[in-house]
Amino acid sequence: MRSIAAVVLLAVLIAPATGFWTCYPVDTAGVQARAWWTVLKVWADTIHIAYAVHTSQDPFQTCIRYARADLCSLTWTIETVDTCTNYASGQALLGWWRGGLDLDSAGQPHIAYTVVASNGSFCMRAKRTGPGSWKLDTVEMRTSLPVVCHDADLVLDWRSMAHIVYTHYGVMTRYAVEDDTGWFRYDLALGAPYGVGLKLDSVSNPHVVVGTLDSVNYAYSPNGGGSWLTERVDAGWWHVDIDLDANDRPLVAYTRLHNQVRFGRRDGPDDWFTSYVDAGGENCCRPSIHAGVVPRTPVVAYYPYMNHPGLRWAQSDDSGTTWHPESVAATGGVYSSCSYPSFEDDGSQWYIAYQAAGYKLWLAVNNYTGIEEQPVHSSGRVQVRPNPTKGPIQVMMNGLSRSGSVVEVFDAAGRTVARSLALSGRARLDLKGLPSGVYVVRIEEADQLTKVVLRR
């Protein structure tokens, strides 16, 4: 017989952004320069950061590291993913400018990065198989020009298969797709590429942005890479990033000749709206864009120009027409030509991984709802975070089965509006775009039914 195990009242509201940035050290030990690029993801109350560490300049002695922490404690576990000594003489440069990170269905990270070594150049994918254990796959190796170099970005599809876009230095952009037999690679004719970004839409088709030395270009494939639609976004330089809003519309952040951060929004075929994010002064290195949990509410994080001691972000509340730049943290002289800040939110907080004073890795956190969580039901069996939320929720289960539970969200009419399977006792559901009202989260197992009431 089924029973109701717990009922939790949760407010889910759309609220204006408020709150303050708080900065936390992630990797600061020793004298190494780290966070030359950073990529982060948040999943099931855990934050994941991948980044490059440089231990010397002549020759380059570098490695790729991975840091993870529970969001409640921010106690970091740091692992070495790959080192330059794995490549011939060891005179290799890993993670040239930018790498990619995504999480599979088990919450394990996959990381894309490039290597330039004495025995060739490589596009690599590292997959975490357990604590301190990584499986390294070569997506492509070259022993002749053009080298595999500069940027790489990675996204996993619904099967946890990797899609990677990367550059052949100043010659071509290449898109690689993983299946059960290996990698399929496709070339994109988008000028001489240096910077790239990648996102998959709701049906796992790729959207790519490419930065050259004088323009920003966009490509979309309606068939998983077999053919491509290409468009020019704007004049620009090669610092680029891309995200998709709730309607799969591309949003692009890019720079123009090291003195402007700009934004592009695709409103239709060859129809790009562009605007200044930050228009004056030395303020345009390495923008990272995130669509935000509210549809069409983009946010951009970026560094001022080389060696300028600051990290900035800008938010738009009108789909990118106007922007509100603000300072996040003093960085103490970031060599920002080699460093990306990485930006994400989980429905209640923004997170930026960045390079701070002394070339150390730090995390900036902003609680933008400004409202604290409601108490968990006294049974302690089910917890839903955040409360309130602007979109995504995390459902955490105590004492219920660790995987396989069906988690569903119903509206007041009894219609299913979101559905997921719990993994390791946790599930993440995205409620962005839903109207205000009362919703029910239902967790169903063989012998019990748990309901959580949501108010939006």
Domain with residue 377: its CATH number is 2.60.40.3080
Identify the residue with better confidence: 6 or 398: 398
Q: Is the pLDDT of residue 34 over 70?
A: yes
pLDDT score, position 346: 73
pLDDT score, position 410: 77
Work out the pLDDT band at 10, boundaries 50, 70, 90: very low
pLDDT score, position 420: 82
pLDDT score, position 41: 93
Residues 390 and 285 in one domain: no
Work out the pLDDT band at 437, boundaries 50, 70, 90: low
Supply the CATH number for residue 261's domain.
2.120.10.10
Q: What is the mean pLDDT of residues 176-198?
A: 92
Residues 208 and 333 in one domain: yes
Mark residue 413 as left, alpha or beta (left: phi above 0; alpha: psi -120 to 50; beta: remaining).
alpha
Q: Report yes or no on 292 lying in a domain.
A: yes
Q: Report yes or no on 3 lying in a domain.
A: no
Query: In Å, what is the CA distance from 396 to each residue of 204, 280, 385, 427?
Result: 27, 45, 8, 7
pLDDT > 90 in the chain, percent: 38
Q: Is the pLDDT of residue 412 over 70?
A: no
Q: Are strands 60-70 and 77-83 parallel, antiparallel or unpaired?
A: antiparallel
Q: What is the mean pLDDT of residues 263-284?
A: 85
Using one digit for the tens of pLDDT, what is the confidence trace for 301-318? Answer: 988 765 556 788 898 988
Q: Report yes or no on 188 lying in a domain.
A: yes
Residues 349 and 390 in one domain: no
Residues 42 and 100 in one domain: yes
Report residue 8 as tokens: 């939790």
**Strand blocks (E) in 44-130:** 46-57, 60-70, 77-83, 93-94, 100-103, 109-117, 120-130
Residues 387 and 334 in one domain: no
Identify the residue with better confidence: 239 or 369: 239
Q: Report yes or no on 394 lying in a domain.
A: yes
Using one digit for the tens of pLDDT, what is the confidence trace for 52-105? Answer: 988 776 666 789 999 999 887 889 999 999 998 888 766 678 887 788 999 998
Neighbours of 2 (CB within 10 A): 11
Residues 285 and 393 in one domain: no
Write down the pTM of the prediction. Answer: 0.77
Residues 335 and 377 in one domain: no
Domain end point (choices 325, 349, 367) = 367
Residues 266 and 300 in one domain: yes
pLDDT score, position 149: 85
pLDDT score, position 21: 85
pLDDT score, position 378: 29
Q: What is the mean pLDDT of residues 419-429?
A: 77
Residues 141 and 232 in one domain: yes
pLDDT score, position 282: 57
Q: Is the pLDDT of residue 111 over 60?
A: yes
Using one digit for the tens of pLDDT, what is the confidence trace for 154-186? Answer: 999 989 999 999 999 889 999 999 998 999 999
Between CA 150 and CA 104 the distance in angstroms is 25
Lowest mean pLDDT, pick from 161-165, 195-199, 254-258, 400-404: 400-404
b/e sequence 58-94, b meaning 16+ C-beta within 10 Å: eebbbbbbbbbbebeeeebebbebbbbeebeeebbbb
Residues 417 and 318 in one domain: no
Compute the radius of gyration of the chain from its Cα atoms: 22
Identify the residue with better confidence: 331 or 13: 331
* Distant-in-sequence, close-in-space partners of 181: CB < 8 Å, separation ≥ 6: none
Domain end point (choices 341, 367, 393) = 367
Domain end point (choices 352, 367, 382) = 367
Work out the pLDDT band at 121, boundaries 50, 70, 90: very high
Q: Is the pLDDT of residue 8 over 70?
A: no
Report residue 111 as tokens: 């990381």
Residues 25 and 124 in one domain: yes
DSSP one-letter code for 158: T
Identify the residue with better confidence: 136 or 326: 136
CB of 239 within 8 A of CB of 292? no
pLDDT score, position 68: 97
pLDDT score, position 88: 73
Could you tell me the residue range of the domain that residue 228 belongs to?
A: 21-367
Q: Report yes or no on 57 lying in a domain.
A: yes
Q: Report yes or no on 4 lying in a domain.
A: no
Q: Report yes or no on 153 lying in a domain.
A: yes
Mean pLDDT, the chain, rounded, equals: 80
Residues 340 and 384 in one domain: no
Identify the residue with better confidence: 14 or 245: 245
Using one digit for the tens of pLDDT, what is the confidence trace for 62-72? Answer: 899 999 998 87
Q: From edge to edge, which strands make up the β-sheet containing 46-57?
A: 33-43, 46-57, 60-70, 77-83
Report residue 263 as tokens: 């934004």
Q: Report yes or no on 194 lying in a domain.
A: yes
* Distant-in-sequence, close-in-space partners of 153: CB < 8 Å, separation ≥ 6: 98, 99, 100, 112, 164, 165, 166, 196, 197, 198
Work out the pLDDT band at 265, boundaries 50, 70, 90: very high
Please give the tally of structural domains in the chain.
2
